[in-house]
Amino acid sequence: MPLRLIWKLFLIHVCSVGVMLALIAASVHWLASNYFMALVQQYHIDAEETHRMFLKAVDHYLLLAGTAGFLVASVMNSWLNARLVAPIGRLVESASRVAQGDFRHSTEVKGCAEIDDLCVAFNRMADDLQSAESRRREFISDVAHELRTPLTNIRGFLEGLHDQVFDPDPQIFASLLEETMRLVRLVDELFQLTRAESIQDLNPEVVDLNELIASVLLRFEPRFDSMGIALSTESDSQCQVFADRSRLTQVLTNLLDNTLHYTPRNGRIRIRVIQRDRIRRVAIENDCDNPPPPALPLFERFQRAEKSRSREYGGAGLGLAIVRELIRAHDGSVGYQTDEKRATFWFELPELNSIKH
């Protein structure tokens, strides 16, 4: 590609010089020559010989001009090769490496400003692709790890039953059911995460946050009561957003479920709905003996504050990742804050949101 391009540019310059010389030659031979002959006849000078000498001199200097133009075109061609074609060739080689999955080498080229900008954009794209590939591999590894434990347990029980190592009893079947349900929950969360990332089926409507929170809390009342959790809610005036009700219900459910897992018995959970200009923030705060550190990426896939405790409750570490994707689909933001005894998870939505379709 670079070789073909450089010859194309060279031919363009040569053709430009050729056309210019042809126009000059035509002008001299047709216009200047006729004018010259008129002057010669007017002043009674030997016209034929003088005309021949004139055209010979013109052709001589046109040849010199053509040679100089060819040399100038060659110099310009070399300059363009260094500034344009060679950097493009290196970018093509880098693109070929990226297409083959090699994201390790960054491309450094020096050319015109447009080529430099193209190089920067290409390197940024390669970095993004490398990050995406790393996340993909990590995701596959995490899924395989999450599947391995319940499948290994199920295999162990089934092999024991097959080899008659132990007799079938309700406890064995209960363990098999428990491990099977872990797999079902994991697959269901993976499906929810995929749907949240695709953001293709949002059905936005006007949603009253206070009313929605109240309806979600009704589902959690038995769990709050069984653990002796003291629940309190605070809200500014009526807070409405333009959002998908079912997806927002899932966000609140995941956040409350996560909060409940890490709230000690007889602890407290506080929900606040805050109105700031055109932003609506929902914050869920709970007592926590061992709050997660602020730097922990809890909204990434398969992240857990306490892995052993999450496994005890059957969590795969996907609930908060689903929350993040759903809130992003509504052009909102999520986050969390911690101190010594409390953890606060929050999300924000615009008052009147332009939903992505």
pLDDT tens readout for residues 140-166: 776 777 778 788 888 888 888 888 787
Give the confidence band of 85 by pLDDT, cuts at 50, 70, 90: low
Q: Report yes or no: 298 and 319 within 8 Å, Cβ to Cβ.
A: no
Domain boundaries, the chain: 2-111, 136-198, 204-350
Closest to 215 measured CA to CA, from 181, 254, 190, 249: 249
How far apart CA 301 and CA 196 sit, in angstroms, is 13
Q: Which residue has the tokens 């009704």?
A: 218
Instruction: Check pLDDT > 50 for residue 61.
Output: yes
204-350 has the same fold as 136-198: no
28: amino acid identity, one letter: V
pTM given for the model: 0.57
pLDDT tens-place string over residues 196-255? 666 656 788 888 888 999 999 988 888 888 888 888 888 877 778 888 888 899 899 889
Is residue 310's pLDDT more than 60? Answer: no
What percent of the chain is modeled with pLDDT above 70? 62
Q: Which residues contact 45 (CB under 8 A, 6 or more apart)?
A: none
CATH class of 204-350: alpha beta
Tens digits of residue pLDDT in 256-309:
988 888 788 888 899 998 887 778 889 999 887 666 655 556 666 665 555 444
In the chain, the N- to C-terminal Cα span, in Å, equals 40
Answer whether residue 66 shows pLDDT above 70: no
Query: Which residues on adjacent β-strands are paired with residue 230?
Result: 268
* Predicted pLDDT at 122: 81
Each residue's pLDDT tens digit, 5-43 = 556 666 666 677 667 666 666 666 665 666 666 666 665
How many other C-beta atoms are found inside a 10 Å radius of the C-beta of residue 263?
20
pLDDT given for residue 270 in this prediction: 92
Contacts with 347 (C-beta within 8 Å, 6 or more apart), sequence order? 251, 255, 281, 282, 323, 327, 332, 333, 334, 335
Instruction: Answer whether residue 356 shows pLDDT above 50.
Output: no
The residue behind tokens 């053709």 is 15
Output phi, psi for 292, to 5 deg: -70, 145
Q: What is the 3-state secondary structure (H, E, C) of 292-345?
A: CCCCCCCCCCCCCCCHHHHHHCCCCCCHHHHHHHHHHHCCCEEEEEECCCEEEE
- Return the CATH fold of 136-198: Helix Hairpins (1.10.287)
Q: Report the alpha-carbon distance of residue 174 to residue 156 in Å, rounded.
A: 14
Q: Which residues contact 49 (CB under 8 A, 6 or more apart)?
A: none
Lowest mean pLDDT: which of 50-59, 174-183, 323-332?
Answer: 50-59
Residue 356: alpha-carbon gap to chain centroid? 15
Convert 24-38 to b/e letters by CB count within 10 Å (16 or more is b): beeebeeeeeeebee
Using pLDDT thresholds of 50, 70 and 90, give the confidence band for residue 347. very high
Per-residue pLDDT tens digits for 101-118: 777 766 776 666 667 777
- Which of residues 88 and 162 earns the better pLDDT score? 162
